[in-house]
Amino acid sequence: MSAQNMHIDSYERNWMIFSFILLAVFASAIAVAAFGMEIQVPAPEERVDPGTVATDPNSPWSNPGLREIAPGKYDAYILARAVPQWEYLPKEITVPVGSRVTFYVTSPDVQHGFKIQDTNANFMVLPGQVSKLTVTFDKPGAYNFICTEFCGAGHGVMYGAVIVTP
């Protein structure tokens, strides 16, 4: 049967056209989100030994905290842990408004989550894996970060804050 003899009902053809248009709209929305709004998909940055990540003197998580790498640009090394108590180390970091902070978060024990309120930063923290995400803080205030993955009995008290000063 040749293509000239093939008949597609107009109702079916209209639905096919609508489906292709819808696919194009969805692809455009993803492209705008990824490139125009700088939405990032968190990816594992590196692997670390969860048994020694907090004690190895060569590990940045043995002394977690904020490090200024250039004016207005910071690296934040955060350790999420359940033992001996559910906590993020450090519990609080302070940056000036307009700062671009790259978060490197890992865990030595169990799976955690890391969500910074009022930003698009939200990712899983797995033992032995370093999760990385960059956030620019354009408004002053307190941006709380919380654990979003159930990690044990003290999960509800696991929080911290990014303080953005004017």
User: Which one of 7-16, 63-72, 116-125 scores highest in mean pLDDT?
Assistant: 63-72
pTM given for the model: 0.78
Q: Which CATH architecture has domain 43-165?
A: Sandwich (2.60)
Residue 105 bridge partners (DSSP): 78, 131
Spell out the domain ranges in the chain: 1-39, 43-165
Amino acid in the structure at residue 30: I
Which is nearest to 158 in space by CA: 98, 101, 59, 78? 78
Question: With 70 as the cut, is the pLDDT of residue 85 above it?
Answer: yes
Q: What pLDDT score was predicted for residue 1?
A: 52
Which is nearest to 86 in space by CA: 135, 125, 136? 125
Question: With 80 as the cut, is the pLDDT of residue 39 above it?
Answer: no
Residue 66 bridge partners (DSSP): 76
Write out pLDDT tens, residues 51-74: 999 999 999 999 999 999 999 999
Comparing 109 with 39, which gets the higher pLDDT?
109
Which is nearest to 95 in space by CA: 24, 166, 145? 166
Which residues neighbour 41 within 8 Å (Cβ) at sequence distance 6 or greater? none
